[in-house]
Amino acid sequence: MVVQHETFIAKYKDLLERELAASIHKLNAPQALKGAMLYSLTAGGKRIRPILLFAAIDAFGKNPEIGLRAACALEMVHTYSLIHDDLPSMDDDDLRRGKPTNHKIFGEALAILAGDGLLTYSFQLISEDEHIDDQLKIWLMKMLSICAGPEGMVGGQVADIQAENQELHLRELEYIHQHKTGRLLTYSVMAGAKIAGATEEELDLFEKYSQHLGLAFQISDDILDVIGDEKIIGKPIGSDRDKKKSTYPSLLSLEGARDHLAFHIQGAKETLSKTNLKTDLLEYLTDVVAGRDR
Amino acid sequence: MVVQHETFIAKYKDLLERELAASIHKLNAPQALKGAMLYSLTAGGKRIRPILLFAAIDAFGKNPEIGLRAACALEMVHTYSLIHDDLPSMDDDDLRRGKPTNHKIFGEALAILAGDGLLTYSFQLISEDEHIDDQLKIWLMKMLSICAGPEGMVGGQVADIQAENQELHLRELEYIHQHKTGRLLTYSVMAGAKIAGATEEELDLFEKYSQHLGLAFQISDDILDVIGDEKIIGKPIGSDRDKKKSTYPSLLSLEGARDHLAFHIQGAKETLSKTNLKTDLLEYLTDVVAGRDR
């Protein structure tokens, strides 16, 4: 089964990456802008969000390729958020996945505009998608704007900035993560299910699954920042501690964070089992996310 | 007639500003983010883009209020572009309409995120608009993303940055303006026409009108930078010259720029007259835009 899942992941990762590059190349825009957008879009990564979208479609027995444009839009929104997060006035990171961050190569102005361009273009991609009907397009654009905007990712990022150098309660930490990273993961899973024709009941289960998954993702990330390998995660170890950020290990101890992680992995898998769909790939991805080595 | 037009403008400006504030207040998002978004949204200005949208609907004899949500989305996209343009790594402006720029009040990180939030929220507003049908929503989101994204406003902004300290040809200058400011003006006019139920032929005329209007707008802006009153335009006179930017007066002389302005005003009005619609308000707005004192 693992081989089969890895084959699926490799196949759709490749498909996605070709489509991402093609989407940028065909733009009638200044070369400098296209270059900056493409640089971060092709900087690697596990493409976990698009893969979750494809896997959710696959769970319904539908062809994942019908979600290809939506998956590209999703990865563009994720990439824009990384470019802006890395800026000197935000996290001020020089490296991302072991490579210089966008502004280190192109300068701050172009990095900001490359992010703006990716965010805006993501809506164009969905609106021009010939494989999905009008109602579905509107659902996707509405959900994407909610999950990525002030009530979602952008709101979480603001809360995260305001929390720097502050000792947080677990509830506040979860608010940040549910918004900063959680909402876009929820979108990934729900968009795939919706594209595949999920019922409202199925959508609710996928949403609940994604919430467990999102927290597992973040707890795992916090643990990796304490115990991980700098070469594998592509950024310096201990950067959260250096920035005096509250994390799951800092609030719960490393052991407590691991218990919390196990709780959410179990919750995610139990929720999947209630869907009566072919969810073995999503179960596998849950383990990948929770123990990931990006 | 002038009184009637000014009454229309005042009425819909007021309606727009109430709806903009209400749209932000109802957001379930961190107060700091809402404050930063609201600050720039309520910093004044003529609201020329939403007013053009309302006026285009009015030309068809339809109720302009059906475009209220779309007008808010449009003003949010314009406002996000101003916030990002003013950043230290871009134009590095301390004042906008006589008030401190967003990052001067809230800091760079929050200013970037307020811009990101406004851009993303604009798509949410259109997707949730109960007054327009699905096909129209998709048209609006597609056109907005094209006009504001890499092939539109963001592309123009990149070209503008690359042109700094360079002597441009008129053709290059027009490319910048057609994209940086022109595309969103085109969207303003075409969105109004489309919302009102314009035919393809009418849309083409409105597009042509908007292109003349956009260039008139920019030429007038360049002229004002040379001869304007600092108190009225809210930014220092001669800032283009100080930044060694190519402008219409620098390429064509002040007299040549004025001739060019008159050419585009005439072209705009002639195009309007071909629509056989009630376009006296749009004609009036053309004069406002071309001689504006923002």
The DSSP code sequence of B68-126 is HHHHHHHHHHHHHHHHHHHSTTTT--SEETTEE-HHHHH-HHHHHHHHHHHHHHHHHHH
Instruction: Enumerate residues 6+ apart whose C-beta is below 8 A from A139.
Output: A194
Look at B124 and A115 and tell me if their CB atoms are within 8 Å: no
Give the mean pLDDT of B117-122. 98
Question: If DSSP codes are grouped into helix, strand and coil, which group holds residue A109?
Answer: helix
Q: B192-244, pLDDT tens digit by residue?
A: 999 999 999 999 999 999 999 999 999 998 998 888 755 555 556 666 666 67
Touching check for A132 and chain B: CB below 8 Å?
no
Q: What is the pLDDT of residue A238?
A: 67
Question: If DSSP codes are grouped into helix, strand and coil, which group holds residue B287?
Answer: helix
Residue numbers of B between 79 and 108 with CB closer than 8 Å to A: 80, 84, 87, 89-90, 107-108
Which CATH architecture describes the domain A2-290? Orthogonal Bundle (1.10)
Shortest distance between the Cα of B264 and any Cα of chain A, in A, equals: 25
Q: Where are the domains of chain A?
A: 2-290
Report the residue of chain A nearest B151, measured CA to CA.
Answer: A29
Look at B28 and A146 and tell me if their CB atoms are within 8 Å: no
Look at A141 and B135 and tell me if their CB atoms are within 8 Å: no
For chain A, the distance separating the N- and C-terminal CA atoms, rounded to the nearest angstrom, is: 22
Pairing of strands A95-96, A99-100: antiparallel
Cβ–Cβ under 8 Å, residues A86 and A96: yes
Q: Among A108, A54, A39, which Cα is nearest to A281's?
A: A54
Question: If DSSP codes are grouped into helix, strand and coil, which group holds residue A95?
Answer: strand
CA gap A110, A36 in Å, rounded: 7
Cβ–Cβ under 8 Å, residues A77 and A184: yes
Q: What is the pLDDT of residue B140?
A: 98
Look at A30 and B155 and tell me if their CB atoms are within 8 Å: yes
- Sign of the CA dihedral running A85, B146, B165, B253: negative
- Sign of the CA dihedral running B18, B19, B23, B26: positive
Q: What is the pLDDT of residue A294?
A: 38
CA gap A81, B113 in Å, rounded: 10
Q: What residues in B contact A119, CB-CB < 8 Å?
A: 116, 119-120
Q: What is the pLDDT of residue B236?
A: 61
Q: What is the pLDDT of residue B100?
A: 97
Q: What is the pLDDT of residue B241?
A: 65
Shortest distance between the Cα of A255 and any Cα of chain B, in A, equals: 31
Neighbour-count burial of A97, counting CB atoms closer than 10 A to its CB (0-12 exposed, 13-18 middle, 19+ buried) = middle
Where chain A has pLDDT below 50, the residues are 293-294
Instruction: Enumerate residues 6+ apart whose C-beta is below 8 A from B147.
Output: B153, B183, B184, B186, B187
Look at B84 and A116 and tell me if their CB atoms are within 8 Å: yes
The count of other CB atoms within 10 Å of the CB of residue B242 is 10
Touching check for A154 and chain B: CB below 8 Å?
yes
By percentage, how much of chain A surpasses pLDDT 70? 94
CA gap A188, A152 in Å, rounded: 13
- Bridge partners of A96, per DSSP, are A99
Cβ–Cβ under 8 Å, residues A130 and A154: no
Touching check for A175 and chain B: CB below 8 Å?
no
Q: B83-110, pLDDT tens digit by residue?
A: 999 999 999 999 998 999 999 999 999 9
Q: Is the pLDDT of residue B292 over 60?
A: no
Instruction: Enumerate residues 6+ apart whose C-beta is below 8 A from A35.
Output: A106
